[in-house]
Structure 1
Amino acid sequence: MNSASASEHNKLVALHIVVLEPDPSRVTSILAMLKLMSIDKVAIAASLQEISATICERKIDVIISEIRPDSSEGLMLPSLLKMGQESNHLSVPPRILWLAEKTYQFMGVESGHKRISIKALHAHMQLARAAGLAAMTVYSPNAQTVSEALCGLLSMPTAIFNRISAGNNTPSEEDVVSALATGDGLRVVFQPQHDLRSGKIIGAEALVRWRHEKLGNIPPATLIPLVNKLGLHLLLFSFVKAKVLDTLRTLQARQLDIPISVNASVDTVCTAGFSERLDDRMQRADLPNYLLKIELTEDIPVVDELSLSAALNALRARGFSISLDDFGAGSASLRQLSRLPFDEVKIDGSLIRGMVHNPSARRIVATTLALVRRLSMSVVAEGIETESCRVLLRRLGCVNGQGFALSRPMEEADFLKKVGDQNCPPFAGKALLAHPGVRRYA
């Protein structure tokens, strides 16, 4: 056994596993398979209720569950783990390993035999991963395939659910108001958008971050709903916009044109006089409007489509670009794409992350790219987390993207340095500095 194999073996032996299985004979079969891998830290649960009690009492690394036509309770494991997160009983969720036989190939009843769809199981696994869980399905399991799957699960990232405090882990409404009024604890980071062919930065998305004095880092998924509930969406937009304009001015001083996107809700862009005030602010900053891109989010539903259309058209008339965020998820739909004036579509990260292993997601992405080209819009693929995903997107004709495989969100100084480095070749640096009239583009 080489050192790498020995390391993997040691990791497997150290695992704490729970097997969700009500059938004693199948439990015996699974235990025998695990014994071949020298895994003996195994508990048995006959129901989800027992799983729920077990994960609250002790550390569990992996939950293994067989999926059969007569036993599909294991499909509820992702929901159970998410409930554990929301009730603050679970900080690091166990990984999930589903076992299924390839003989169960079709959903429904055929000649009296119930069959499970492999395609449906794969889609369910992708949904679990999109929710931040490490999940995998093994078909026709044996000791070798299960061992390989367990090693794969251990290498997969899994969500760390923030338990911000032992008691109330949500900031108060007063905390939110104070942070937006003073800016205390708030900052803006920049996630670069890249040309997938050359790797060069061609834009960025501005993202808000909040570090609470007592509760620590507050995730955007907690902050944004509170902001919307309090009707403070315009105040948050103004805070982010001000930081972005400072960054754009710095880029312009360095003779670099890098557009930056700012997220805005439906209520924000539909505020009376929004486009006029934004145009005035850009003029006072001596910045061209095309450098500020408005990224329409879906955190507030569209109630008045006519009002939204008027607001978006007013922004476009003044030279601002409009981007549709999270296309392919939630309410970002074909209806909006066909009826509202967008310049750019951002394909939702859940589709992008799933496309390498999910043929359905890959076909949806390919269709979206073809559709957007026919509509003469630009496109940005979000959530690019692996090199294989980037390569596949390029093969499908996608030009621009963002994600951890390309660049993580950066503090302003790091972002400015990275943009500057890519536009100032060492051999040409002195010559460019000697000729301030030379303009360099990203």
Structure 2
Amino acid sequence: MECPPPVRCEDGETEWAEVARKYLHVVSSGDEAAAVRATLEIKRLACHAPDSAMRVAARALVGLRARSPPPRLQAAASQALCSVVGVDGGRFAAEAVDAGFFPVAQRLLPEAEEVPQRIMLRCLSCILTLHATSRVVFGRGGGAEVILDLFPGCSGATKRRLVEILSALALMKEVRRLLLNDGKVEYLVAAISLGNLASRTRAAQAAGLLGASTIGRSLLVEMGAPVALVGLMRNGDSSANLVAANALGIVSSIGPHLPLIHQSGAIPLYAELLKESHPLAKDIVKDVFCILTSIRDSAGVVLENLAAILRGEDDLAISAAVDVLLALAKYKSVTPLLKSSGVITVLVDLLRNGNHDVIEKVTGAVAQLSYGEYIRESLMEASAIPVLLGLLNGRLGVLTETAVAEALVNFSEDPSCAEYAPMLQRVVR
């Protein structure tokens, strides 16, 4: 016996209640082939049925799985349940959870054959991804332990589902503690590189949270998290890049792990984040680059990458790079590198050729930088003084003129600027 398609009433509505009744009859009839076909029909109709029917379907499918049917029917029920809970971004996931799907999954997953197990994991991943509050129910109810126990010896396709589930669960503090205590941090690191992009981003976020502790940071580095995070920064979208960059900064930016940021090739990727419009991008880059100033080789690469951004045509990125540069210039270890990196020359070029907004930003930076004797000397060698003098007559606005005047005052008080002394004195009087 098969479950027929829904019939139409005279008013054009579908008799979904009749469909549900016939489906339950087919499933309980003992005809496995008919039950499989009817269950797959539920999958097909998932996007078309009214809410009341989907709620009934979710509970019926969970009940079917709870009875441990034959493998083919198990797989069909899991596929149909995936379709039901995925409707409208997880609107019916709560129905499956309330119907007892989690205890059923925890009981059946360890003993299921590979294909039915994989389909059940897909359904579980769908629920945990789309219905965030259900993660607490599953994670605290022993589900995290079940998932972790499935990792050893699993195949590639199964592992992909497992890491997607783990990435959702690892946002919980209890699960991260479990990973530490059981020595299974390697699975979280694997989740940064495997699975869909949303899952990898969640795993990176969880790694950042885990890296807040000394032991968590050490284990993440030992298991290769920096390389995985750089891979996500290189291949992810804007959101993934920011999350991975923040996590990498947390994991690698303290003590002996600090050189890993340079060694892994992450510095150019951080510089590229300055092109992002997200307000956190600049703060993340600034924090990481300031920490890198303690390593001469890394600081040099940082300044070279900032110079490359300043040579570009993205005005927002240039503005962000100037702000980062000012933060770096406060560190004495950076001062000798400003000239050799080409940053000073690029700043002066921007004063010559930048648009109004860029010139306003850069003059403010030059005014701040001109307080340092060594930097002031580098600015003078780059011909900054005549350029600044020229800007005074450019009618570029009060802020620009104020910044130019501030810089010129600093130059006028420097004995090494003797050749410009007459002009500077006229300006600053």
Q: Is the TM-score greater than 0.5?
A: no
From the two aligned structures, give the one with the greater strand fraction: 1
Larger Rg: 2
- Tell me: higher relative CO, structure 1 or 2? Use CA pairs within 8 A at least 6 residues apart: 1
